[in-house]
Amino acid sequence: MLKAKRSMIFLLIMMIMLTGCNPQSSQVSNSDQVKFVIGVSQANLLEPWRVIMNEEIKEEALKHTDIRIVFTDAVQNSEKQIRDVGELLEQGIDLLIISPNDSAELTPIVAKAYKKIPVIVLDRAVEGYAYTLYIGPDNKSIGKEAGQYIAELLGNAGGNVVEIQGPAGLPSLRERSAGFREVIGQYDNIRIVDTVVADWQRDKAEDEMEKLLQQYQKIDVVFAHSDYMALGAYKAAKKNGINGIKFVGVDGFAGTNGGLQLVEKGILQGTFTCLTGGREAIQYALDILKHEKGIPKKIISRSNKITLYNVMEYTKAANELKKDNSKKKVVLGFSQLGAESDWRKANSQSIKSAAIDAGIELIFLEADQKQEMQIKAIRSFIAQGVDVIAFSPVVESGWDEVLEEAKMAGIPVLLSDRAIKPDDNSLYATFIGSDFLEEGRRAARWLVGNGMTMPSVNIVQLEGTVGSAPASDRKKGFAEIIVNYPEFQVIYSASGDFTEAGGQEIMKSALAIYGNQIHVVYAHNDDMALGAIKAIEEYGLKPGKDILIVSVDATAAAFKGMMAGKLNCTVECNPLLGPQLMQAVKGLLSGRQLPMRIITSEGVFPAETARQDYLNRRY
């Protein structure tokens, strides 16, 4: 077996060299040790950010003697990247890491690779979900943070701002700029006087800034989408003897002329870290190849605001080898919002089982869907001095005070399943759960793609608990898609509080008003859908036929409903978050900074495949 693996590795490297893909491999001195070959398909090596991504992949790979890395460079050419991936697949790599040159153009080859081997997508997401794991930044959030910081820098006086972007047309760039402009647009005294494109290059940014300085008498702040472009703009100002302009960048790398050094020197007023995901890609690649539990679907990297006031502290924390607490007995305090549904019961069992498997002592308290009981539970965890606190918030708001108390006590907090507002991520280490917005979108996409040809489709929406994140986001995501199809109209919408009884009661009310005019029920969870089914049957109609029903959760009860012909589709909201939660707890205590969001893997299950899909269900 080892001999075959050695031969395969040799042939792989030789073939790629002959086809001009310019491979580089991690330095594994003894090929007998190699168990896995990982192919890395990079969009280009013209951007400094991508060069650093490759360096981080190499550095992390060198820690593991059982893997070999083969790099390819697409030189900003999607057709070449498609060929590169095809050649890597032909030679038998065990896992593919790809940073796409173009999301849409690379989607088919990524989907093809995913049918054969695990695929990790970095930075630019492909369309759909045909991949194992996506790791990337929240560019809109970075833009918003930069906009807020620049507003603070300018203060009441306001001022003129210049934006320097990377290559035109990139989705990530559009998102970052949109977030920035969304915040700046809230200030009447701040004006974005111009936007220029510098293609991530320092020299081009310097040239463009030269022109702007000739054109505008007063520029107060330059926001560049990378630190290298910010440095170029700074050099132009210095060359022209202009002082007083504040420069803000993005990336926050260490090293010569990296964002951290530029902030230390006072060249940049601030920068926002944008992690490449290179190190994390190798760490997760090994977990995937070794079939570890708790692999998420998406990881959204955390961005840190770095200024002169915290740069030294941040650099020290990043470089300091922290004490590994992974061998001490860990105590986790978990506040569960209740047991209101089959989904919640499966979620609770997953957490309890995963804690036992991980050797973590779990203090588990249920709150009967009452916020005051959850706050009391969190305060009891603080008093007991647990190592980590995690909770699934019953509603989005009203947590600031108790989370500040946990922060003051030095106890990190994890959010599980549900998010909070305002989203102050300084109060929690990460969010682990689902993308509720996407769940709503998926339900709507299934509905509009279901071939309904009526001129008007009337929808009853059964909402979850008022003020909860899943209810708010599932409603919003559904509306985002439906708005593009005017024939689909939500005619009645009310909260059933995520319970079967609540869904039944709301559906009774809707039927009393609209009767046979209702064509579709969209329920924010399966339990409410099951309640609606009872109400529809009591009314004398056939659920699943006279009225189509699409819901969210994908519990066993929903599959039974589909197999009985009473429910048409369920969108998965995976409750089995326990392994990911325990992995995050261990990561925290070993000194790792967790990503901003960890999104679990989920699917969509129509009635047509319910019988087959049900065989593989675990809840």
pLDDT tens for each residue of 73-125? 999 999 999 999 999 999 999 999 999 999 899 999 999 999 999 999 999 88
Query: Which is nearest to 502 in space by CA: 536, 553, 465, 554?
Result: 465
| Contact between residue 584 and residue 358 where contact means Cβ atoms under 8 Å apart | no
Helix (H) or strand (E) holding 364: strand 361-366
Identify the burial level of 463 via C-beta atoms within 10 angstroms of its C-beta, where 0-12 means exposed, 13-18 middle and 19 or more buried.
buried
User: Amino acid letter at 574?
Assistant: N
Give the integer Cα–Cα distance in Å for 529 and 463: 10
CA 540 to chain centroid: 44
Phi/psi region, residue 497 (left: phi>0; alpha: psi -120 to 50; beta: rest), is left
- Helix 78-90 with 103-114: angle, nearest 10 deg: 10
Give the integer Cα–Cα distance in Å for 478 and 497: 18
Owner of token pair 């132009």 = 236
189 Cβ contact partners less than 8 Å away, ≥ 6 residues apart: 154, 156, 157, 158, 159
Query: Which is nearest to 201 in space by CA: 234, 227, 229, 169?
Result: 229
Phi/psi region, residue 553 (left: phi>0; alpha: psi -120 to 50; beta: rest), is left
498: which 2 tokens?
A: 């995520």
Helix (H, G, I), strand (E, B) or coil at 521: strand
Give the integer Cα–Cα distance in Å for 615 and 543: 24
CATH of 331-432+576-593, one of 3.40.50.720, 3.40.50.10480, 3.40.50.2300, 2.40.40.20: 3.40.50.2300
Domain spans of the chain, in order of start:
2-131, 139-273, 331-432+576-593, 436-573
Helix (H) or strand (E) holding 51: helix 48-61
615: which 2 tokens?
A: 């065989």
| Contact between residue 337 and residue 369 where contact means Cβ atoms under 8 Å apart | yes
Helix (H, G, I), strand (E, B) or coil at 200: coil
CATH of span 2-131: 3.40.50.2300
Q: Is the peptide bond before 137 cis (omega within 30 degrees of 0)?
A: no
605: which 2 tokens?
A: 């299950």
Residue stretches of the chain with pLDDT short of 70: 1-32, 317-327
What pLDDT sits at residue 32?
Answer: 63
Local structure of residue 145 (DSSP, 8 states):
H
| Contact between residue 530 and residue 561 where contact means Cβ atoms under 8 Å apart | yes
| Contact between residue 143 and residue 175 where contact means Cβ atoms under 8 Å apart | yes
Instruction: Return the ∠ at Cα 289 (arms to 347 and 583), rounded to 5°.
Output: 35
Helix (H, G, I), strand (E, B) or coil at 153: helix
> Which CATH superfamily includes the segment(s) 436-573?
Response regulator (3.40.50.2300)
Query: Which is nearest to 551 in space by CA: 571, 575, 574?
Result: 571
> Which CATH superfamily includes the segment(s) 139-273?
Response regulator (3.40.50.2300)
What pLDDT sits at residue 215?
Answer: 95
| Contact between residue 297 and residue 602 where contact means Cβ atoms under 8 Å apart | yes
Do the first three CATH levels of 2-131 and 331-432+576-593 match, i.e. the same topology? yes
Identify the burial level of 15 via C-beta atoms within 10 angstroms of its C-beta, where 0-12 means exposed, 13-18 middle and 19 or more buried.
middle
| Contact between residue 366 and residue 336 where contact means Cβ atoms under 8 Å apart | yes
Range list of β-strands (E), 449-527:
457-463, 488-495, 520-523
Owner of token pair 């190190």 = 279
Is pTM beyond 0.85? Reply is: no
Give the integer Cα–Cα distance in Å for 198 and 166: 5
CA 24 to chain centroid: 30
Give the integer Cα–Cα distance in Å for 385 and 331: 9
What pLDDT sits at residue 22?
Answer: 44
| Contact between residue 600 and residue 297 where contact means Cβ atoms under 8 Å apart | yes
What pLDDT sits at residue 318?
Answer: 64
Give the integer Cα–Cα distance in Å for 375 and 370: 9
